Structure formats: C-alpha cells, structure tokens
Amino acid sequence: MKGFGVFEKGKVGWMEKPDYVCGPNDVICRPIALAPCSSDVHSAMEMEGDYLKNRILGHESIGQVIEAGSNVKDFKIGDKVVIPCTTPTWQHPDIQDGTHQDAGGLFTAINFSSYEDGTFAEQIKVRSADMNLAHLPDGVTIEQACMAVDMMTTGFYGPELAEVKFGDTVVVFGIGPVGLMAVAGAKLRGAGRIIATGTRPDCIKIAKEYGATDILSYKDGDLIGQIMGLTGGVGVDACIVAGGGFEALNNAIAVARFGYGNIAMLDVVAGEASVTLNNMYIAGFLAHKTIRGGLCPGGRKRMERLLSVVKYGRVDPSLMITHRFNGLESIEPAFQLMVNKPKDLIKPIVFVD
Amino acid sequence: MKGFGVFEKGKVGWMEKPDYVCGPNDVICRPIALAPCSSDVHSAMEMEGDYLKNRILGHESIGQVIEAGSNVKDFKIGDKVVIPCTTPTWQHPDIQDGTHQDAGGLFTAINFSSYEDGTFAEQIKVRSADMNLAHLPDGVTIEQACMAVDMMTTGFYGPELAEVKFGDTVVVFGIGPVGLMAVAGAKLRGAGRIIATGTRPDCIKIAKEYGATDILSYKDGDLIGQIMGLTGGVGVDACIVAGGGFEALNNAIAVARFGYGNIAMLDVVAGEASVTLNNMYIAGFLAHKTIRGGLCPGGRKRMERLLSVVKYGRVDPSLMITHRFNGLESIEPAFQLMVNKPKDLIKPIVFVD
Amino acid sequence: MKGFGVFEKGKVGWMEKPDYVCGPNDVICRPIALAPCSSDVHSAMEMEGDYLKNRILGHESIGQVIEAGSNVKDFKIGDKVVIPCTTPTWQHPDIQDGTHQDAGGLFTAINFSSYEDGTFAEQIKVRSADMNLAHLPDGVTIEQACMAVDMMTTGFYGPELAEVKFGDTVVVFGIGPVGLMAVAGAKLRGAGRIIATGTRPDCIKIAKEYGATDILSYKDGDLIGQIMGLTGGVGVDACIVAGGGFEALNNAIAVARFGYGNIAMLDVVAGEASVTLNNMYIAGFLAHKTIRGGLCPGGRKRMERLLSVVKYGRVDPSLMITHRFNGLESIEPAFQLMVNKPKDLIKPIVFVD
Amino acid sequence: MKGFGVFEKGKVGWMEKPDYVCGPNDVICRPIALAPCSSDVHSAMEMEGDYLKNRILGHESIGQVIEAGSNVKDFKIGDKVVIPCTTPTWQHPDIQDGTHQDAGGLFTAINFSSYEDGTFAEQIKVRSADMNLAHLPDGVTIEQACMAVDMMTTGFYGPELAEVKFGDTVVVFGIGPVGLMAVAGAKLRGAGRIIATGTRPDCIKIAKEYGATDILSYKDGDLIGQIMGLTGGVGVDACIVAGGGFEALNNAIAVARFGYGNIAMLDVVAGEASVTLNNMYIAGFLAHKTIRGGLCPGGRKRMERLLSVVKYGRVDPSLMITHRFNGLESIEPAFQLMVNKPKDLIKPIVFVD
C-alpha cells in the first residue's frame, strides 16, 4: 500500500509499505476522510527518533472497514467508522487508575505515526477495534466527525481539566483549532464570560461563533494586564492553554484567581522549558491554584459521547474547516498547507472518495 | 407595610405588618418584580406549622435597596438587586463542609416565608446582604433575573448533582419550570441526548427550545419501558427528577445505567414516602447507581454566576414566563393562577412598578 | 478435575469437570488457599438460575500458576498469585466510564461461579490474567492475601463510596467480615469516631482492634435513636451499610447528617425491596444526602494497592480468620460452617497444600 | 498588654500594646500554650512590609476565653479553646466557592501577625469566634491540640491536595513538622509505601513512627534517581512538598507517575522563582500530572475534625514536641530556638501557666 510519510527529519513524501495483516482484535479500514494536524508537521519537521524514520504520518481520519479481526464483535466490513487519534490497547493495568493516555509510560496511547504507521495511506489499521472505534452516527457529517477525532476531544478536555462550572469566567490562550474547540467546550460546560487570545481574523470570527465574548491580542499589550483589567483585578476562574507553550502557561498561572483558579495545559513543548513563577502570583502554596495537563482522551465511549454532542446540535466542529481537498494524493498539498500556515487556514480536510 | 400571605392553612390574603428594622448586615428593598412559585401554594394550602400562621408568602423577587445596614459594604440605596430565594446566614460552621442549604438543620437556608416574612410585600428584608445579594448586571432583564433566583438555580442544580458530562444521555422527569431549567442546564453541561417527560404543549415547546431532543408522555405507556426502548435497553447516564415525587424517583432509579447512572432528586415530597426499589434494577449494591438530592443553592456567587450565564447569552430563562401582571396587588391573581394551574401556565411574573 | 459446587438449588457436593483449556490471555492455577464466603451460601442455597446448575462454587482464592496463555506477559508457571473475586474482561467500552464492575450489564465482573466455574476446585482459570492477577508480595502472608481478594476490597469500598474524610464520624452497620473491613478502611481514610453495630462478641473484639470506638446493639433499642443520641442529635458524616439489607439502608438514611451525609450500600438484597423513606429524614430533596452503592472493585491495580496497604503494616486482615482447615476436601466442612454460622465464626480459610 | 513581636525586619523583642476591645463576634483569650513556627522567623527576619512593623508575632496557640462578644453563642468565659492559625472572617463571598484561605485576595485568612497582632501576648483576640474556634475536647492534651492548629492542618492538607488513595505510593519531601504531619496524614488516607526525604536523626525517627517506610537523603545522591530506583522506574502516585521550595517541587514533578501523579505544594517561597520543567518529565501536557497548592485550612469544623482524629487515637501530633518551656517570657528563648534550629529541634512549646 501507498502512504504519505516522513523518511527522515524534514524529508516527507510517498512511500510503499506492505499491506496490513489484520490481527484478531484489529480492523483494517480504507480512508474516507483525512485531516493533517500541526502535530504531523511537528513529527515530520522538528522531532527526531527512529520511530520517525520511514513512518507514515497522520492520525485524524474517518474510515470504512475492509477487514475485521476474528474477535471483533461490533464492527464489520462496510461499516463507516470514526477513528480516534489515540488508540490505547486498554490492556495495561494503569488504565484501572482512570486515565488511558499514558498507561505504562508517556504517550503510549499515541499509536499512529509512532509505534505503528499513521492514517495517511490506502489502509489504516486500528488496534483494539471494539474498544477504540465508534460507528459514524446518522445525522453527523464526515466533516464533523473528522474534526472530533483529535481537535474536539483535545479542545473539550480543556474545560474538563480546568473543571469549568456554571458561570465561570474562562480564558482560552490560543485560538487555533484546539483553542476554538476549547472555547466551544467551555461554553458547553456552562461558562459565562469566555475571553480568548488570538489575532487571526478567521479564527476570531469562529471563536465568537463558538462562544468567545472577548478577544484579546498580545499586540494590544501585556495579556496579563489586559485580563486583569477586564476582570477588575480579580483574575479568572479557569484558564485553558491551547497554544503558546510555557509562556502561555505562565500567563495562565498569573491570571488564575487566588484561592480557586484552575489551569488546563493542552499544549506540547519541545526542549528544556522553564516556568518563571512570579512571586506576586504564586508565592505561597501556588496561591491555591491547580494545574493539570493531559493528552487528548480516546476510547470508543469518548468518541460516541462527542458524536452525540454533535448529533444533537450542541456544536458544529466542521465550522473550522477552511480548506477542502479530494483524493488521497491531495494529502500532500494539505500537509504543505499546514507547514505554510497561510492566514486564512484553520483546518484542511481531504476526502478520499 | 402591606403583604400577601397565609393566615392559616388554606386561608390567604393581605395582611398589615410593621415596617422592617434594618439590622447591621441587612438591606431593606422595595420589590421591583415578584413571582409566585408552586412552593408558595404548597406552603399556603398544604403545609401546617406555626411558622405558617400570619406569614407573608413569596421568595422569588427582584428589588431595589431602600435601606442598607451599617456593615453592608457592597450595596447602597437605589441599587437594583437580585435576591436569591434561599438566604442562609453563612454563620453556621456547617457551611465549612461545602454546602449551605441545610447548615445546622434541614432547610435553614429557607428564610423567606419561614423564619421570617416572604417577598410578597411592600418591603423585603434580606439578611447577610453582602453574602446573599447580587447586583442586577447590565444586559440582564428583570424578567430573566427573576427567573434565576429560584427556578434557574434549582433546575441547574440537577445536572450538577447528576454530574452530567459531555455527551451524556440525560432524562428529566417533569417539565414544569424547574424541569425546563434542568433541561437547559443539562444542555449547558454538555449533554447529548436529553429526554424529557411531560404532556403540556407549552412546556413541551419550551423544553425543545432549551435542548430536549425527545419528549415522552406517560399517556403513551410505562415511562421506564419507553426510556429503555429509546436507549436500546441500556438506560441513561443521568436522571433528574424535577417533578413526580417518589414515583418519578423510582422511575429514575430504574432507568439509570448499571455501573454508572447518576440520579438527582430536585423534588419535595410530603407525607411518608415509600421507594419500592425493584430488584431487577438495583438488587445488588444499588447496581452502582448514585442518588443525590439537594435544595436550591443560594449565595451571591451562585447568583453572579447564573446571571453571567444569562448575560452572555447562554440561556434565556424568561422564555418560561407566560403570564405578566402589574402592581403589587396583582400578586393575588398571580398566586391564584398558580393554585389553578391553567394549561397554558408556566411561570407568572408581577411587575411592581 | 474435581470441584465442590452446587448441582441445583440447595444441593451441593463434589463434581467432576474437564480440565480447563488455557486461552491466550488466561492462566490456570492450582489453589493454595481458599475461603468460602456467605455469597457462596447465597448462590447455592437461595438463588436460582441455570448458571447455578452443576456449577463449581467459590471466588476467594490464592493460587499458583500451572499454565499461562501465550499473550500473558507478567505471570509464569510457578508464580504465586492473588486472584481477585471479580475478574472483568476489561474489554467492554463501559470500563472507559470509570467503573468495571457492571460493564455491559449488572455484575458482569462476577465470573467465578457465575459465567464460569468458581475457585473451589483442583484448578482455577483466571481470564485476562495480566489485568486481573497480582503477584503475592514479599511480606504478605497467604492468610492476609486471601482476606484481601473479596472481604478487604469490598469493605474498603465503603469509606470510598461514602467519601470518608479526616475526622468524619462514621457508622458501619454490620460487623461481619465486610463490615470489619469497612471499619478498618474508615480508620485508614482518617475517620475520627467510628460507630459500629453488631452483637457477636468475637466480631466486636476485632471491630475495636480495627478502630471502632463505639459498639451499638439493636438489643439496646432503636439504632436510629441510639446513634442520634451519641451524636447530639446531629447524625453522622458517613454511613456504610455492610449488612442488614434495606432496613439498615433506611437506618443509614435516617442518621446521615442533613446537608452532607454520605451513605455507602455494600449489601445485596434478594426479592422486591421497599425503602420507606421517612419524611422526617429526607422529605425535601433527600435532605442533601447522597446514596451510592457498588460491587467490590477488582483489577490488578486494586489488588496491588490493597496488598501494599497490608505489606506496609497499615492493617492486618487475617485477624478475621477464626477457622483454619487443610486439604481441598476441607472446603466442604468450611462451606458447611458458613451455612451454620456458629457464634465464633468470622472467616474460615482452607489451605490446599 | 505585653507581647513579643517584631519592631522592624530583624529586630524582635517585647512590646506594650493597648488591651483588646472585644467586638461582637470576637473572643479575647489568655494564652495557655504557644508554639513558635518557622513562619514566625520568616516574618520577623526575612520579610518586609508595614504590617510587620511593631507587630506581635505568633499564630499557634491554645487559649482560655476571658471575654466573649455579644453575638458569640458557643463560647463563654473560662472555656478552653483551640485557636486555628488561620482565622478568616467567613464574610467574603469567595468562601462560597469552597475555599476560605484566600477569599478576596492572597492569604486573607492569615490574620495573626498580619492584619492584626499575633498570639505571643498576654491576650489573644479571635475574630468570628463561633466560626473559627473549637472547644478543647476531653481526651486531647494541650500539647496535642497545640500541634493541630497549624502543623497538623497544614501537613494533613498534603495528602488531601495530592488525593492520596488506598495503597498509593507517596513521597514526602522534607520531614520538618509539616512534613512529619504529611507522613502521618498520608498513612491516615490509606497510603501503602511512604517515602520521606530528610537527614536529621530525630525527624527520621518520628517519621518512621508516623508511617514512613523509606527514608532518603540527598547526601546519598540525586533524589529523583533514588526515588525512581525504589519504584522500578515508575515513579510515585502522590508527592507532597513540605520543604525545599521550588527545587523540591521540580523533584516532585519529575517523580510523579505519568498519567496519574498528583503533587501537593505545601511550601512557601520568597523571591522570584523559576521552575525548570525538564522535558523528559513533562514535555507533553505535563504528562497528565496535577499540581495543587494551598495554605493551611482553618475553620471550626476543620479543627473539630482534626481533634477528633487525635481524640480517637488515630495519631499523636505531640510526638513532635522536642522542647518545652514555661512562662510567657519563655516565648523569647523558644523563638530563638527556631532561629538557631539546633539538630535535635522539631517543635518547641511554651506553657503559659
């Protein structure tokens, strides 16, 4: 089979791989829709490691089952399926502690483009199919579902980790697609005021549609000062860091309310990182602020629930799609778009048939 | 001052009382808007007790400060204020355990029409004003605010007690005003499918506007069977009992999912009550279901947060108002409306000026 | 192989079964120690159902691996293993919601003596071995470990479900072995006063060793009145029902503190059950009390944690063992002991070699 | 009245102040027992600020009521009372969000030696007495109670913030008195293995009595490496930072388990602080670790609960007392002891009568 991947750091292109052998708990899919993610660019252009040599990229996809393993109960050939970007085996005891993303080690749930090949290929193999896949429900479009498998589950994790409550004032740092979904998720956890930071006009427009009530730009001055100004010097109930790395994390720690503020860290950083915790904000006991991070949750139940949120009209994640392509070979220009990040880009999608 | 109250069980009317003396932490308000509640009918017509003799009724109100105690910091004469229906003193150590509704005993937070006179009067006295009152915010109407002080805080408590999560399937038993707010609150906690039970056409219409996706009626057969049918025999993630008493609680226990289902009890019952827990549903260890109840939360923070939810356009609780009256004296026909419960009634409101 | 089981309701004895075939995720053990449980009596003498025909009984055991499936990574022939009484497959998506006991239906985690044969046999088959088994740690005796697989995990679930906090006043209804472990668990969650109800002198002695501070007997009058008396009419922070069925549940609901009290239901009931919720205690909104139930948690992590609690000397569950037997054939008199319940019985154990 | 305090940074001694005037919610006590704390040294020797000019020091004390305000219901002249080191007014709406330590701003609950004079004086004024004070219970010694008002409430907050569960492996950084109480608290939340770091022999001895199972010293090499070694490279479930400032926080972040680890920050730091978050430990999304901090909880309920833990023999905090003094004037040498920190010092106490 043919796939689009990374040969070595910085060098991407099409590669030929043997067809998958379907294990008893696996399904093999053909792709129906694919979406490149900034993590794909990150993996191909910035990271190193043997697992990124001759590795097919991609982890956002909707597929159709072309083969199902002998143990698979709930999926059969022809089924249209929603494939979460994280696909843990669910067979490590650590999942018994309540999270599955890092069971047995950091990022073990990231299988695509990591332990195994990714989704930008003629075939996609999904391990532990009954535990990971969800059926594409009636009333949910391919576009919507494709935005749920990573962007929505990651963005919605923000208000969960930050424990957003009815009427909370929330700030979302960054309004790329994860930040936009964090805004939508905060609204759907009952937030009142939602302050978002960003500068790109298309993102700002969608952020407002998703529920942002105030948009701030670093160009108008120090973000901490602006947020403190908007909140009468009190700060906010919840912060979600969806971009900006540790600088944004520092800002979040600064503006989280004394005695209560919750901070969710949804961003990845590379290299040694330093958090300068300004004494004014956290000197004592972190000023009773809580910081939580977490990789996007996967699992069939998670997918089914997010798709239910979409199906019943609570949010439309496909509003984020700005660029549409057709044909598997279009994954190349779609990926290139993510590398170049033109101003009007939020998310591209590639329809394979 | 003049007020509308209960002389003795079943006998209501206007009564004359001395003007309030304003304590150091109190404010005295004149009423701007009042709303009768089915609890008022309950107090006047069904309950007994010395505290319900010659007692002014009413606990839903928006007011304007006409006098403020010497310790009151944040409210001054002329301020328009949102008055929560529960006004605890916040001076009992039990609040240190995290709830305030029953600090030191059952229902101690219910001051209006209970320990002291209610709001259906020329004057309203609010104790612990700085801790209980909220300013009427710009962008929130009197009608909206008046629906927040009891209906919204009670209804929104449902999805909180039932710990509704993203994509949960929720059932709300009863779509009177509390049930309608529970529907809206469930949507704003991220529920997917929301099944509501009820028969009155006006309520059904509003329930759908607030987010209900399926409406069931007992007239179409056993509700348990209908809900199990809709959910493929699995049951629901969360149940909110907003009417129907213990029969509805029994239904809720029956349809809550094995191993996970959460049940919120928002209804009051009178008399000895019997829950027949059918073995099929809970035989062992309640089948890992959780049952929580709780009186409507009050407090300034709660009010400010709910008003923020309204202000930022997340929900409009004034959609529930079906009948509007003018003048304090109209509290009498408005109350009578609650007694008679005509088919098209959801909530009445009385504007005092 | 030979096993002790139930032929049909009320008729127990030895039966011959084919040796197990070891699946890829299974291990087969020979028993090292076995303990009969009152649930075994319940299954054999009171319950009906095809799954209880010619079924080997037993679910409490310590074993030694004699065969390990091809996928099993962490256990090999000769390993001494702690076998939890519940052994879910961990392959149903419901476990992704955070509980595993009822994934996909009521009691699906109960495999022994239910879907498959139990542990009172020459061979014990454990499914999903890597997820369910724990190694017997150095410093933990066979007796201690054998008390952990059901009694300790069930009893300790009480203070977890009742969310016992530092200094809580707790009542444990029933001081059979589950209740005794609930007492020990409440102490190990930081409870202050622990009131336990029971009458058998040996149980009372052990309850005090495990941390009970007050022992009450129904023979001295109404338990509700006694508990209210001890607590100055306030009631308790947390209740654990470890015996007494719905009558005890009613008592628990009555004595749980207004506005705060948590109730854990650890008991099973048979037949239609009726909870008479006295108006005085719960009329409104359950008086802000919370009721949770749940079957004993299993899983390798749970076992490893409980064994760690034992290993580091926090509690010794083997204090509950009152009767010791040797030889597999002794499972018969040990079972008979559980049927007869002599006064001095808490838990019997059978050493197989 | 006479008190021992700080004239200006670095200059301590006895000062004369007017007798207190008792407000309606206050009580005035004479001291029965006092304990200097390293925070007193910190306030006197290292910090600056107008509130630390001519300010009486001290916040750990047991007293006897000599005057009670007109609103005070539960305390009268002659009562022996336990005075928490934090005494919030409970009159700021922020307490309605569930914490009271920083209501309305950072550290607002710290009244003694901050907004008002401290406890090292002939008189101690306690604001909001009914909400803050606890009666000294029968069966609790003065020594035990005096160790509860700051050391125990702070140390026990560690396992609460770190959400220690049954069988967790916990590491406590620092075994000064707060760390020792964190060890005891971790044991009383059900921890299995408890690793503590420290070097002073007397502290090590008490740490073991309180439940520490492994003691590590930085003198034996990198603590991260040692902890990872002990835990087979997995790390720990929960970390409590009870000393060592941000260096210890960094260590805690490093050894907290991927996907689960909880970190509690109980230490204060002065000056600009920098957390160097090593990529290996937290690169992505903080590796799903959670960091919480918090000032010691106060409040009457908290005190009553901790005293219940002591009364029922769950822990004896007086084991930490290494130096005993008599007479108010001895507060000076006791304070000096805290400045000099001799090797055999854990906690001094001064008995005033």
- Can you give the CATH number for the domain in which A61 is found? 3.90.180.10
Question: How far away is chain C from the Cα of D299, in angstroms, using its nearest Cα?
Answer: 14
Q: What is the pLDDT of residues A294-307, one digit of tens each?
A: 899 999 999 999 99
Residue B71 belongs to a domain: yes
Residue C272, class by beta-carbon neighbours within 10 Å (0-12 exposed, 13-18 middle, 19+ buried)? exposed
More confident residue, B238 or A289: B238
In this complex, the residue of C188, C194, C307 whose CB is nearest that of residue D188 is C188
Is the pLDDT confidence value at D222 over 70? yes
Residue B285 pLDDT > 70? no
How many residue pairs bridge chain B and chain C with CB atoms within 8 Å of each other? Answer: 142
pLDDT of B278 above 70: no
Residue D341 structure tokens? 């920190």
Contact (CB, 8 A) for C19 and C56: no
Average pLDDT over residues A216-225: 96
Report whether pLDDT(D111) > 90: yes
Percent of chain B with pLDDT over 90: 86
Number of CB atoms found within 10 A of residue C247's CB: 16
pLDDT at position A279 over 70: no
Same domain (yes/no): A268, A326: no
CA angle, residues D111, D112, D114, in degrees to nearest 5: 70
pLDDT of residue D246: 78
Task: Name chain A contacts of D291, Cβ cutoff 8 Å.
Answer: 286, 290-292
Interface contact A190-B192, CB threshold 8 A? no
Residues of A engaging D, defined by a Cβ cutoff of 8 Å: 94, 97-99, 101-103, 105-107, 246, 258-260, 265-279, 282-295
User: Does residue A180 share a domain with residue A219?
Assistant: yes
Relative orientation angle of helices D153-161 and D177-188, to the nearest 10 degrees? 50
Q: How confident is the model at residue A47 (pLDDT cuts 50, 70, 90)?
A: confident
Domain that holds residue C186: 155-293
* Residue partners of B228: CB distance under 8 A and separation at least 6: B234, B235, B255
For B123-179, the pLDDT digits (tens) are 999 999 999 999 999 999 999 999 999 999 999 999 999 999 999 999 999 999 999
- Say yes or no to pLDDT of C268 above 80: no
pLDDT of residue A65: 98
Residue of A nearest to C133 (CA): A93
Classify residue C305: in a domain, yes or no. Answer: no
Q: Do D289 and D161 share a structural domain?
A: yes
From chain C, pick out residues whose CB is under 8 angstroms from the CB of D307.
167
Distance from CA of C164 to the nearest CA of B (A): 12
| CA atoms lying within 13 Å on the CB side of residue A213 | 21
Give residue-wise pLDDT tens across range D232-274.
999 999 999 999 887 898 899 889 998 889 999 998 765 555 6
Q: What SS3 state is found at D152?
A: helix
- In this structure, are B162 and B276 located in the same domain? yes
Given an 8 Å threshold on Cβ–Cβ distance, is A185 in contact with B190?
A: yes
Whether residue C133 contacts residue C27, with contact meaning beta carbons closer than 8 Å, is answered with yes
Whether B188 and A165 lie within 8 Å, measured CB to CB: no
Q: What is the DSSP letter of C256?
A: B
Kindly determine whether residue C167 and residue D309, on different chains, have CB atoms separated by under 8 Å.
yes
pLDDT at C230: 97
Q: Is the pLDDT of residue A281 over 80?
A: no
Q: What's the pLDDT tens digit per position in D144-194? A: 999 999 999 999 999 999 999 999 999 999 999 999 999 999 999 999 999
The confidence score (pLDDT) of residue A20 equals: 98
Claim to verify: residue B11 and residue B124 sit in the same structural domain: yes
pLDDT exceeds 80 at position D277: no
Tell me which chain D residues have a C-beta less than 8 angstroms from the C-beta of A260.
Answer: 94, 97-99, 102
Nearest residue of C to residue A91, measured between CA atoms: C131
DSSP string, C279-334: HHHHTBGGGG-EEEE-PPP-SHHHHHHHHHHHHTTS--GGGGEEEEEESGGGHHHH
> CA of D151: how far to CAs of D41, D177, D297, in Å?
15, 6, 11
CA-based nearest residue in chain B for residue C276: B274
Looking at residue A106, its pLDDT comes to: 86
Identify the closest residue of chain B to A189 by CA–CA distance: B189
Q: Which chains are within 8 Å of B by 3+ CB pairs? A: A, C, D
Q: What is the CATH number of the domain that holds B200?
A: 3.40.50.720
- C277·B99 Cβ contact <8 A: no
B279/C273 CB distance under 8 A: yes
Together in a domain, A24 and A89: yes
Would residue D76 count as lying in a domain? yes
Residue A246: predicted pLDDT = 79
Total beta-carbon pairs less than 8 A apart between chain C and chain D: 80
Neighbouring chains to A with at least 3 Cβ pairs closer than 8 Å: B, C, D
Residues of D with CB under 8 A from a CB of A: 94, 97-103, 105-107, 246, 258-260, 265-279, 282-295
Task: Quick: pLDDT tens for C84-116.
Answer: 999 999 999 999 999 999 999 888 999 999 999
- Closest chain B C-alpha to C31 CA, distance in angstroms: 28
Average pLDDT of span D94-123: 94
What does pLDDT average to over chain C?
Answer: 94
Same domain, D285 and D324: no
- Per the prediction, chain A carries an average pLDDT of 94
pLDDT at B116: 96
Q: What is the C-alpha to C-alpha distance for residues C42 and C49, in angstroms, rounded to an integer?
A: 12
Structural domain includes residue B309: no
Q: How many CB pairs under 8 A join A and D?
A: 144
Rounded to a whole number, what is the distance in Å from the CA of C230 to chain D's nearest CA? Answer: 14
Count contacts between B and D (CB, < 8 Å): 41
CA distance to B303, C272, C313, D239, per residue, from D315 (Å): 42, 45, 15, 21
Q: What pLDDT, in 10s, does the model give residues C36-68? A: 999 999 999 988 889 999 999 999 999 999 999
Does pLDDT of C284 surpass 80?
A: no
Indicate the residue of B105, B107, B259 with minimum beta-carbon distance to C103: B259
User: Kindly report the CA angle at B253 between A130 and C254, in degrees rounded to 5?
Assistant: 135
B79 shares its domain with B175: no
Better-scored residue on pLDDT, A47 or C327: C327
- pLDDT tens across D58-97, in order? 999 999 999 999 999 999 999 999 999 999 999 999 999 9
Residue D285's pLDDT is what?
67
Query: What average pLDDT does the segment B311-325 reach?
Result: 98
The 3-state DSSP class for residue A23 equals: coil
- Closest by CA to A223, choosing from A244, A201, A193, A192, is A244
- Whether A327 and A285 map to the same domain: the answer is no
**Residue B80, domain member (yes or no):** yes
For residue C273, pLDDT over 60 is answered with no
Q: Which of B91, B96, B127 to mutate to test the interface with D (most CBs of D within 10 A)?
A: B96
Note whether C188 contacts D190, CB cutoff 8 Å.
yes
- In-domain check, residue D300: no
Q: Is residue B197 part of a domain?
A: yes
Residues of chain C neighbouring A135 (CB-CB closer than 8 A): none
Chain A residue with CA closest to D240: the answer is: A285
**In the predicted structure, residue A269 carries a pLDDT above the cut 70:** no
Find chain D residues with C-beta within 8 A of A279's C-beta: 269-273
A160 and B166 in contact by Cβ < 8 A?
Answer: yes
- Statement to judge: residues B131 and B161 lie in one domain: no
Q: Do C300 and A96 touch (CB under 8 A)?
A: yes
Which pair of structure tokens corresponds to residue C318? 């083997």
Residues B247, B187 share a domain: yes
Is the pTM for the entire model greater than 0.95? Answer: yes
Q: What is the mean pLDDT of residues D26-47?
A: 95
Nearest residue in D to C153, CA atom: D166
CB contact under 8 A, D288 and A294: yes
| Site from A74, A95, A96, A97 to mutate, C interface, most C CB atoms within 10 angstroms | A96
| Partner residue opposite D156 with nearest CB, options C166, C188, C307 | C166
φ/ψ (deg, to 5) at D99: -125, 155
CB contact under 8 A, C314 and D185: no
DSSP A226-248: HHHHHTTTS-BSEEEE-SSHHHH
Q: What residue ranges in chain B does DSSP mark as E strands?
A: 2-8, 11-16, 27-35, 55-56, 60-68, 80-83, 124-126, 134-135, 170-173, 194-197, 214-216, 238-241, 262-265, 273-277, 290-293, 321-326, 347-351
Q: Which residue of B has its CA nearest to D304?
A: B93
Q: Is the dihedral of CA C228, C229, C230, C231 positive or negative?
A: positive
Interface test mutation site (partner B, options D96, D306, D307, max chain B beta carbons within 10 A): D96
Q: pLDDT tens-digit profile of B164-190?
A: 999 999 999 999 999 999 999 999 999
| Alpha-carbon span D30 to D120, nearest angstrom | 10
Element (H, E) at D131: helix D129-132
Answer whether residue D272 is part of any domain: yes
Look at residue C146 and tell me whether its pLDDT is greater than 90: yes
Contact B293 C294 (CB under 8 A): no
Residue in chain C lying closest to B296 (CA): C285
Residues A257 and A333 in one domain: no
How many structural domains compose chain C?
2
Helix residue ranges per DSSP H, chain C: 38-41, 129-132, 142-147, 153-161, 177-188, 201-210, 223-230, 245-255, 279-282, 300-311, 331-340
- Taking CA atoms, what residue in C is nearest to B279? C272
D23 contact residues in B (CB cutoff 8 A): none
Half-sphere exposure of A17 (CA within 13 A, CB side): 27
Which of C96, C299, C304 is closest, CB to CB, to A299? C96
Angle at which helix A153-161 crosses helix A300-311, to 10 degrees, equals 100
Please tell me which residue of chain A has the smallest CA distance to B302: A167
Beta-carbon contacts of residue D30 (< 8 Å; ≥ 6 apart): D63, D64, D66, D122, D123, D124, D352
D307: exposed, middle or buried (Cβ count in 10 Å: 0-12, 13-18, 19+): buried
Chains that touch C (3 or more CB pairs under 8 A): A, B, D
